């Protein structure tokens, strides 16, 4: 005999309970919980009622579909990160540390789009309209046709934008918005999930693009449920050191373009200014003939960027030597140090090692292994490399060098900035260049024997 596993279900929100209750704890409705006998142990004979559903329109892969309409934001760096502009009816989640400049960026973006004739509404749950107007005057954007409001009630926001013709809605921030049919406070998991879902569904039906501002936790993760990042079309992170004058906008997820694409901005008294050549910015303060300093060519999305990697090796006054890293993976630095010790005869035992990616840039690709290794060798042996050399390549545990993707893109960026020499793995397939010297090596020992002499 099949055991009956009857449950109780709220008729308002479809939340299930193991026993009857007078009030639904999920949506707060009274007398809405009724017994539901559709669950039985064993094969389910009947999933739905006799009512037929609607037919779903099916498409084939070979059909020609119209490209999604994009709105240029007037900020080329922002358009680059989005994949060419703001897609109509798309949802974007923008995160970043407090005070990094999220509100400034979005106010400039919103005023740019409104000046193109689009209808833009800026909803702030953290600032009063007077504060937004004060920032607009400071940025010289107070003559824009942008509509602003200070509101946190989701029902009132949806009612308002339903009566307006809106092209873009900015919500700053989603953690301050609440749905009045949920008992939990603003910023809770249930509130954030419900508010994003309702706003995103409304945007798809009405063809409205929405940009949500999301808070971050102390470890840099976006606050709230991870489900929110799956619900939106694009997730971008605004990062950078507040003590530095530039900021990096990085795409973490993008359904309409490449992920890991970056846009670079410089913070000034008049707001955020675009940086068209990030490589030149990151290398502007570099001291050429300095030991422990090398130039690395990285790929951020589709953009090549040259950054300076600095290393310092000093005798340790403590029992345990320090390993301090800024802008790179700490565990990967430990691996490179172990390879230099076991394969190349460079022992850093009892020495403090400091590694820094200059300018606040964060490098995540393994192509930086070779540049870090050369920087450590240069710092340890007090040897300066040629100032016009760019280095990239992955390092294996055997000490061999492994090729990385897009070597020609990196080389062309180095040529554009006047570099004359490239160090890279030997199996990298590159074009022939007459004005730049290509040095290829199979392993670290070959590179060291030609460029660096390790003192015993």
What tokens appear for 75 in the block? 């900020």
Q: What's domain 70-276's superfamily in CATH?
A: P-loop containing nucleotide triphosphate hydrolases (3.40.50.300)
Long-range contacts of 8-16, Cβ-Cβ distance < 8 Å, separation of 24 or more: 8/33, 8/34, 8/35, 8/36, 9/33, 9/34, 9/35, 9/36
Rounded Cα gap, residues 265 and 263, in angstroms: 7
Instruction: For 270-306, write each residue's pLDDT tens digit.
Output: 889 999 888 988 888 888 778 999 999 999 888 899 9
Residues ≥6 apart with Cβ < 8 Å to 95: 102, 213, 214, 215, 216, 222, 235, 236, 237, 238
DSSP assigned state of 54: P
Q: So what's the pLDDT on residue 54?
A: 80
The matching CATH number, chosen from 3.30.230.10, 3.40.50.300, 3.80.10.10, 3.60.20.10, for 281-450 is 3.30.230.10
Q: So what's the pLDDT on residue 268?
A: 86
Task: Please determine, for residue 452, whether its predicted confidence score (pLDDT) is greater than 80.
Answer: no
Q: So what's the pLDDT on residue 5?
A: 46
Proportion of the chain above pLDDT 90, given as a percent: 59
Q: So what's the pLDDT on residue 445?
A: 93
Q: So what's the pLDDT on residue 48?
A: 52
Instruction: For 16-70, write each residue's pLDDT tens digit.
Output: 888 888 888 887 777 778 877 555 444 444 555 556 678 888 878 876 777 778 9
Task: Please determine, for residue 4, whether its predicted confidence score (pLDDT) is greater than 50.
Answer: no
Q: So what's the pLDDT on residue 119?
A: 95
Q: 392 vs 67, 168, 282, CA distance in Å?
A: 37, 42, 17
Query: Helices then strands (H, E): number in the chain?
Result: 11, 23
Instruction: For 193-229, write each residue's pLDDT tens digit.
Output: 999 999 999 989 999 999 999 998 887 788 777 889 9
349 and 414 in contact (C-beta within 8 Å)? no
pLDDT grade for 249, boundaries at 50, 70 and 90: very high
Largest CA distance in the chain: 85
Q: Which of 5-14, 122-131, 168-177 has the lowest mean pLDDT?
A: 5-14
The CA-CA-CA angle for residues 128, 133, 137, to 5°, reads 155
**Bridge-partner residues for 308, per DSSP?**
295
């Amino acid at each position: 005999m099949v055991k009956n596993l009857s449950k109780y279900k709220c008729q308002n929100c479809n939340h299930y309970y193991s026993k009857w209750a007078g009030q639904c704890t999920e949506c707060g409705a009274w007398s809405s919980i009724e017994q539901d006998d559709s669950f039985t142990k064993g094969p389910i004979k009947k999933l739905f009622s006799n009512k037929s559903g609607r037919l779903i329109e099916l498409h084939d892969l070979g059909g020609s579909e119209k490209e999604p309409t994009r709105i240029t934001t007037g900020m080329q760096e922002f358009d680059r990160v989005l994949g060419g502009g703001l897609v109509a009816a798309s949802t974007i989640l923008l995160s970043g540390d407090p005070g990094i400049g999220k509100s400034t960026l979005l106010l400039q973006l919103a005023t740019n789009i409104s000046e193109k004739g689009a209808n833009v509404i800026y909803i702030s749950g953290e600032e009063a309209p007077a504060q937004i107007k004060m920032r607009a005057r400071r940025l010289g954007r107070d003559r824009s046709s942008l509509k602003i409001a200070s509101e946190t009630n989701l029902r009132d926001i949806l009612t308002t934008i339903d009566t307006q013709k809106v092209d873009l809605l900015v919500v700053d921030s989603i953690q301050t918005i609440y749905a009045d049919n949920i008992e939990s406070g603003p910023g809770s998991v249930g509130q954030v999930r419900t508010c994003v879902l309702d706003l995103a569904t409304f945007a798809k039906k009405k063809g409205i693009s929405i940009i949500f501002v999301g808070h971050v936790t102390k470890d840099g993760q976006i606050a709230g449920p991870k489900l929110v990042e799956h619900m939106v079309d694009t997730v971008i992170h605004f990062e950078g050191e507040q003590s530095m004058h530039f900021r990096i906008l990085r795409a973490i997820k993008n359904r309409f373009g490449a992920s890991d694409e970056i846009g670079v901005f410089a913070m000034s008294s008049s707001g955020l200014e675009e940086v068209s050549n990030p490589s030149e910015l990151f290398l502007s303060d570099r001291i050429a003939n300095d030991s422990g300093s090398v130039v690395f060519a990285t790929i951020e999305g589709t953009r090549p960027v040259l950054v300076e990697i600095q290393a310092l090796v000093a005798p340790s006054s403590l029992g345990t030597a320090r390993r301090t890293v800024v802008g790179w993976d700490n565990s990967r630095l430990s691996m490179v140090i172990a390879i230099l010790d076991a394969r190349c005869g460079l022992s850093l035992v009892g020495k403090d090692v400091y590694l820094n990616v200059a300018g606040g840039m964060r490098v995540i690709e393994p192509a930086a292994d070779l540049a870090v290794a050369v920087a450590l060798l240069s710092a340890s042996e007090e040897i300066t490399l040629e100032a016009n050399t760019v280095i990239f390549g992955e390092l294996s545990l055997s000490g061999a060098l492994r090729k990385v993707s897009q070597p020609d893109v990196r080389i062309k960026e180095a040529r554009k900035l006047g570099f004359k020499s490239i160090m890279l793995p030997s199996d990298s397939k590159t074009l022939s260049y007459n004005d730049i010297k290509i040095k290829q090596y199979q392993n670290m020992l070959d590179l060291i024997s030609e460029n660096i002499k390790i003192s015993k």
